[in-house]
Structure 1
Amino acid sequence: MDVTQIASLATNLATAKDADAVNIAVLKKALDAQVSVAAGLLQALPPPLPANPNIGRNVNTTA
């Protein structure tokens, strides 16, 4: 292997490493944005209605 090929390979690997680091940083930002959107949607939901214990206990068998 030629010396210039080794230098070229090292440069390419360093560039790929930097690109991967940038991609991971962008992914983390996107995930953080999704977390905040999901939290906002959950807070926007109305509170659940209290369960009525009288509903669903009787079955009309003559209908």
Structure 2
Amino acid sequence: MDVGNIPALATSMAQERTANAVAITVFKKSMDIQGAMAMALIDAVGQVQQNLPPHLGNNINTKA
């Protein structure tokens, strides 16, 4: 075994570990942002339906 490669291997492994940690952090942040956007869309739909007149949606037109 060549002992000259051990520091280079250790540095490479540390860089890979750091890159993986950054990738996971970015992925988690993007998931949080997507979740927040989905909740905003759901909240927006709920607000639109509450503003409709109460007579809408009570009858179904079956002759159309």
User: Would you call these one fold, judging by a TM-score over 0.5?
Assistant: yes
Secondary structure (helix, strand or coil) at the match of 2:49 reads: coil
Partner residue in 2 for 1:40: 40
Distance 1:27 1:55 in 2: 45
Distance 2:41 2:22 in 1: 29
Runs of 4+ in structure 1 off by over 3 angstroms are 48-52
Gap regions ≥5 residues in structure 2: none
Gap regions ≥5 residues in structure 1: 57-63
Alpha-carbon RMSD: 2.2
TM-score, normalised to structure 2, is 0.69
What whole-Å deviation, never above 9, does each CA across 1:10-55 have from its counterpart, x for those lacking one? 1101110011001111111111110110000001113378864x75
Distance 2:4 2:12 in 1: 12
Distance 2:57 2:10 in 1: 66
Partner residue in 2 for 1:31: 31
TM-score, normalised to structure 1, is 0.70
Distance 1:55 1:34 in 2: 36
Secondary structure (helix, strand or coil) at the match of 2:33 reads: helix
